[in-house]
DNA sequence: TTGCTTACTTACTAATCAGTCAGTATCTTT
DNA sequence: AAAGATACTGACTGATTAGTAAGTAAGCAA
C-alpha cells in the first residue's frame, strides 16, 4: 500500500480549504511531497478524480463520526459536530462545503454529484439529530427540523468564513448563540 | 466616458458569482465584449484592480439601497434585503460575500481589505436594522444584535449556495424561517 | 495646427497549467 | 528465475494564463 496516495489526498484537502479547488495546481502537491507531477497523475488521472477522492474521504470521516456518536444524546452529538468546526476554526481553515459549493458550476458532473452527496449527508444527519432532540426534550425550536438543520449548518460554515475575513472570535459567538437558540 | 469599463465590471461581477474570482480569465471578459484582452488591462492593469472595482460597485449599490430605505421600518428594510437575495436566487447566482470569502487567502492585501469592508458594511447595517427593530418592538430575539446579524446574513448567503447544489426551494424555506424567528 | 489624452489594437512573452507517454526500479506472484 | 503488477521518473506538450510594449485612430484644447 502506497501512502503517497493518502498524502496527496491530505494535502489536496488542505489546499482546497485554503486556496480553493480551482486555485491550487498539481505543482502545489508534487513540490511539498518531493515527487513529480506525473506521480500525482498516476494516482489521480485528472483533477476531478483528486477532488472526488478528497470529498469521499470527508464523507467517510463523517460517517465514522456518526457511527461513533450513535449512543450519545442528540445535544452531545451536536456538540461533537460543533467541536469539528471549532478545530477548523483553530487551524484557520474552512469546511469543504464552504469551499466547494461556491465553485460548484465549474466542476465536472461526477464531482458535482459528490459535493451534493456530502451536503445531503451532513444535512440529513443534522436534521435527524435535531428532530430526535426535539422529541426527547433536549431541543426546542420552531418549524421543520430540516429547515433548522440548514440554518445550523449554514451558521457553522459561515462562522469559519467570517472568522478568517473579520478576525475576532466570530466562531465562538456564533456557535454559542446557535446552541442557545436550540434550548 | 467609456461604457466599456462598466461592461467589464458587470461581466466580471457575473463571472465571480458563477465561476469564482480565480477561475475566470481575461479571455472570459474580452471575448463576449468583442474586445482584446489588452483593452481589459487598459482599464484594469491587473486582476486585483478588477476585483476591487467589482466589490466597490457592490458596496456603492448597497449604500444606495441603505440610503433609499432609510425611512422604512426595520422589518420593511429586512424584507428589502431578503428581496435582493431572492433576485439572486432566481438568477441562480450567489452573493459576492459567498463567492469571495472562501478564496480570501489567495487575494492581494488591497483586495482582502475591500472584501473585509464589504462584509463589515453589510453586517453593521443588518445589526443596526435588527437592534432598531427590537427596540421598536418589530423584532424579538435573544442575544447581541451583531451576533444575530451574523446569523441572518449567514443564512441568506448559504441559502443561495445550498439552492444551487441541492435544488428545490431552499432559499424560500430558509428566508421564511429566518423571518419567523425574528418575530 | 500642433500637442495631449483617451481608448483602444496588434503582437508578443514568460510562466504556468493539466495532462501524456515511454521508460525504470522494486516488489510480488507463479 | 521469469512474468507481471506497482509506483514512480524524465521529458515532454499544447493550451491557457496574466500581463506588456509599441503603435494608432479619434477627439479635444491651446
B47, B123 contact by CB (below 8 A): no
Min distance A69 CA to chain B CA atoms (Å): 26
B9, B57 contact by CB (below 8 A): yes
Q: What is the mean pLDDT of residues A39-52?
A: 97
pLDDT of A1 over the 90 cut: no
- What is each CA distance from A152 to A122, A149, B162, in whole angstroms? 11, 5, 13
Q: What pLDDT is attached to residue A2?
A: 60
3-state secondary structure of B105: helix
3-state secondary structure of B92: coil
A78, A133 contact by CB (below 8 A): yes
Query: Average pLDDT, whole number, for chain A?
Result: 96
pLDDT of A135 over the 90 cut: yes
Residues 6+ apart with CB under 8 A from B32: B11
Q: Which among A38, A66, A48, A113 has a CA at the least distance from the CA of B165?
A: A113
B151, B139 contact by CB (below 8 A): no
Q: What pLDDT is attached to residue A128?
A: 97
- What is each CA distance from A73 to A80, A81, A181, in whole angstroms? 11, 13, 18
| A positions 127-166 inside 8 Å of B (CB) | 142-144, 147-148, 150-151, 153-155, 157-159, 161-162, 164-166
Residue of B nearest to A176 (CA): B147
Q: How far apart are CA B26 and CA A41, in angstroms?
A: 28
CB atoms within 10 A of CB A72: 13
Q: Which among A172, A183, A181, A146 has a CA at the least distance from the CA of A82?
A: A172
Q: Do A150 and B170 touch (CB under 8 A)?
A: yes
- What is each CA distance from A165 to A87, A92, B146, B159, B164, in whole angstroms? 17, 10, 16, 20, 24
Q: How far apart are CA A78 and CA B39, in angstroms?
A: 53
Q: How far apart are CA B76 and CA B59, in angstroms?
A: 21
Q: How far apart are CA A116 and CA A107, in angstroms?
A: 12
Domains and their CATH numbers in chain B = 4-181 (1.10.357.10)
Residues 6+ apart with CB under 8 A from A46: none
Give the DSSP letter of residue A46: S
Q: What pLDDT is attached to residue B2?
A: 59
Per-residue confidence in pLDDT tens, chain B, 183 aa: 458 999 999 999 999 999 999 999 999 999 999 999 999 999 999 999 999 999 999 999 999 999 999 999 999 999 999 999 999 999 999 999 999 999 999 999 999 999 999 999 999 999 999 999 999 999 999 999 999 999 999 999 999 999 999 999 999 999 999 999 999
A180, A174 contact by CB (below 8 A): no
> What are the backbone angles phi and psi of residue B25, rounded to the nearest 5°?
-120, 170
Cell of A157: 460554515
Q: What pLDDT is attached to residue B40?
A: 97
Footprint of strand D on the protein (CB under 7 A): A 1-2, 4-5, 34-39, 42-43; B 24-28, 37-38, 41, 45-48
Residues 6+ apart with CB under 8 A from A95: A17, A85, A88, A156, A157, A160
Q: Which among B88, B89, B108 has a CA at the least distance from the CA of B100?
A: B108
Where does the pLDDT of residue A114 fall: very low under 50, low under 70, confident under 90, or very high at 90 and above? very high
Any strand C atom closer than 7 Å to A134 CB:
no
Q: How far apart are CA A108 and CA A95, in angstroms?
A: 20
Residues 6+ apart with CB under 8 A from A168: none
Q: What is the mean pLDDT of residues A63-89?
A: 96
Amino acid at each position: 500500500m502506497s501512502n503517497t496516495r493518502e498524502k496527496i489526498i491530505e494535502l489536496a484537502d488542505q489546499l482546497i480549504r485554503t486556496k480553493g479547488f480551482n486555485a491550487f495546481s498539481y505543482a502545489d502537491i508534487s513540490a511539498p511531497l518531493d515527487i513529480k507531477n506525473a506521480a500525482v497523475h498516476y494516482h489521480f488521472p485528472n483533477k476531478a478524480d483528486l477532488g472526488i477522492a478528497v470529498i469521499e474521504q470527508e464523507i467517510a470521516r463523517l460517517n465514522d463520526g456518526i457511527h461513533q456518536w450513535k449512543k450519545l444524546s442528540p445535544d452531545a452529538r451536536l456538540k461533537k459536530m460543533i467541536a469539528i468546526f471549532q478545530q477548523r476554526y483553530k487551524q484557520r481553515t474552512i469546511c469543504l462545503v464552504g469551499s466547494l459549493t461556491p465553485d460548484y458550476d465549474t466542476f465536472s458532473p461526477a464531482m458535482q454529484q459528490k459535493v451534493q452527496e456530502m451536503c445531503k449527508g451532513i444535512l440529513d444527519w443534522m436534521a435527524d439529530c435535531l428532530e430526535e432532540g426535539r422529541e426527547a426534550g433536549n431541543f426546542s425550536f420552531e418549524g421543520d427540523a430540516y429547515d433548522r438543520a440548514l440554518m445550523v449548518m449554514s451558521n457553522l460554515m459561515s462562522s469559519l468564513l467570517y472568522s478568517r475575513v473579520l478576525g475576532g472570535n466570530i466562531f465562538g459567538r456564533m456557535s454559542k448563540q446557535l446552541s442557545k437558540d436550540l434550548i
